[in-house]
Amino acid sequence: MAYIFKILSPIHIHSGEVIKAMNYMVKDDKVLIFDEMDVIESVKQQELLNDELLRNFASAGRRRKEYNKTLDYYIDKGIIEKSVVDKYKLKGNNYTEDLSGQEIYRTMTNLQGPYIPGSTIKGVIRTAILYDYILNKGIEYIKDAVKFLNRVRHFSIDDYIIYGVKDGWLEQDILQDPFKFLGVKDVNMVDKEVGIYEETIYNINNFIPGNVIETVEEDNKSEQFDFEIRGHKKLVGKYNQEIIKYFKDEELRRVLYQYSKDIIEDELEYYRINKHPLFNTKEIIETLEKIKAKNSIDSPVLRIGKGKGYKSNTVALAIKKLDKDYYTQEIKNIAKPFRYNKNYEFPKTRKFINPSVSPKLLGFTILEKVDR
């Protein structure tokens, strides 16, 4: 069966790279992003040893942003050839108030533009399956797991579920990980433009500046893709049979729907309780309600990438749903890192983009079936 993604809110999946100030320029409301080698090759011969240029190559990101000059500065000073302007690799819509000089944290891009890695999609499916599995097992199963993990701290709850405990010990053998049966390829986006946003951390009492990030834009959609189930009869018997049963298209959609439904409801609860006079929680709640209404078993919502939050990346929400008091008591032993403000339910922070009077959440997309 074929699927596409439709992006409901900007998505940032950090590639591990940053765009230095001298590798982009702002033109009108667009950010033109250049390959560093093209910039280097466009330096005029007589300016190759320009002291200012060399300092920026070496130290961008470790100084105040006003000292990091963008590409147009070097063009205007005659250090870099004007012809480089026609060599930009990617165009971004600029939503920042003052971008100049800041490094931009890259989302995943390839020669065709932004994309969603198959490993990211597979990770969401994996967590949704484990979430459903725990809800079916019940709170006593979790309590036994936490007791075991408190004694053997180098394992996680995921390990406990996937590999199981035999004779009081857990053996982590990645060759017996049932999720190796599930394959998802990287998914390219149709629209190649990206968005450039300033990220802010909202932690109830105050606002903490985050990074400038490059995102897949909302309303973009992906190329078609499918899930590949690689099960082999001779190998299936070695794995947790209760997990193997999830590896069907209809079951994958069901657990994704349920997982997203519960995540969205938990987010709504958070924003209804935790308010700040300078933060427009009303707009956030309205957006979440609209996303919740779109979520269905046939077309489940997924939350991926940066900003999706601790509960969207772990089975913690399942523990909270089974026993909220136990969750509050034990989260310090389950969460990594486990430091948190005891006056608030963990986690007490959320990330958003745009000004606080009109904030946006990151990471929502919807999976839709399509005819080939």
Contact 15, 194 (CB under 8 A): no
Q: What is the pLDDT of residues 59-83, one digit of tens each?
A: 655 555 556 889 999 999 999 999 9
How far apart are the C-alpha atoms of 131 and 248, rounded to whole Å?
16
Cα four-point dihedral sign 35, 36, 37, 41: positive
pLDDT the model gives residue 337: 47
Query: What is the enclosing helix (H) or strand (E) of 247?
Result: none
pTM: 0.89
Contact 199, 351 (CB under 8 A): yes
- Looking at residue 134, its amino acid is I
How far apart are the C-alpha atoms of 120 and 329, rounded to whole Å?
30
pLDDT the model gives residue 67: 67
pLDDT the model gives residue 342: 55
How far apart are the C-alpha atoms of 92 and 220, rounded to whole Å?
13
The label of the residue with tokens 């968005």 reads 195
Q: Residue 162: pLDDT above 60?
A: yes
The label of the residue with tokens 């190796």 reads 180
Range in 58-72, 88-102, 219-233, 317-331 with the lowest mean pLDDT: 58-72
Q: What is the pLDDT of residues 136-156, one digit of tens each?
A: 999 999 999 888 888 877 788
How far apart are the C-alpha atoms of 23 and 70, rounded to whole Å?
7
Average pLDDT over residues 8-12: 97
Label residue 286 by pLDDT band (50, 70, 90): very high
Residues in the chain: 372
Per-position b or e across 136-161, b if 16+ CB within 10 A of its CB: ebebeebeebbebbeeeeebbbebbb
- Looking at residue 54, its amino acid is L
In terms of pLDDT, which residue wins out, 337 or 190? 190
Q: Residue 125: pLDDT above 80?
A: yes
pLDDT the model gives residue 231: 63
pLDDT the model gives residue 179: 86
How far apart are the C-alpha atoms of 222 and 175, rounded to whole Å?
32
**What percent of the chain is modeled with pLDDT above 90?**
54
pLDDT the model gives residue 46: 81
How far apart are the C-alpha atoms of 129 and 133, rounded to whole Å?
6
In terms of pLDDT, which residue wins out, 133 or 153? 133
pLDDT the model gives residue 335: 64
Q: Average model confidence (pLDDT) for the chain?
A: 87
Average pLDDT over residues 191-199: 94
Q: Residue 338: pLDDT above 50?
A: no
Closest CA to 181 of 241, 258, 250: 241
Average pLDDT over residues 309-320: 86
Task: Spell out the residues 6+ positions from residue 254 whose beta carbon is closer than 8 angstroms to its own.
Answer: 297
How far apart are the C-alpha atoms of 132 and 297, rounded to whole Å?
14
Tokens, residue 297: 């078993």
> Residue 143 to residues 150, 167, 327, 348: CA-CA distances in angstroms?
11, 18, 10, 24
pLDDT the model gives residue 327: 87
pLDDT the model gives residue 232: 61
Q: Residue 234: pLDDT above 80?
A: no
Task: Spell out the residues 6+ positions from residue 260 whose beta carbon is closer than 8 angstroms to its own.
Answer: 128, 295, 300, 301, 302, 303
SS3 content of the chain, % helix, strand, coil (to 5): 40, 25, 35
In terms of pLDDT, which residue wins out, 340 or 223? 223
In terms of pLDDT, which residue wins out, 181 or 119? 119
Backbone Cα Rg of the chain? 23
Would you call the peptide bond into 300 cis, given omega within 30 degrees of 0 as the criterion? Answer: no
How far apart are the C-alpha atoms of 48 and 232, rounded to whole Å?
59
> Residue 43 to residues 35, 39, 231: CA-CA distances in angstroms?
13, 7, 54
Per-position b or e across 57-71, b if 16+ CB within 10 A of its CB: beebeeeeeeebbbb
Average pLDDT over residues 28-55: 86
pLDDT the model gives residue 133: 94
Q: Residue 114: pLDDT above 90?
A: yes
Average pLDDT over residues 35-44: 91
Domain boundaries, the chain: 2-10+115-370, 21-102
Average pLDDT over residues 262-291: 94
Q: Residue 28: pLDDT above 80?
A: yes
Label residue 313 by pLDDT band (50, 70, 90): confident
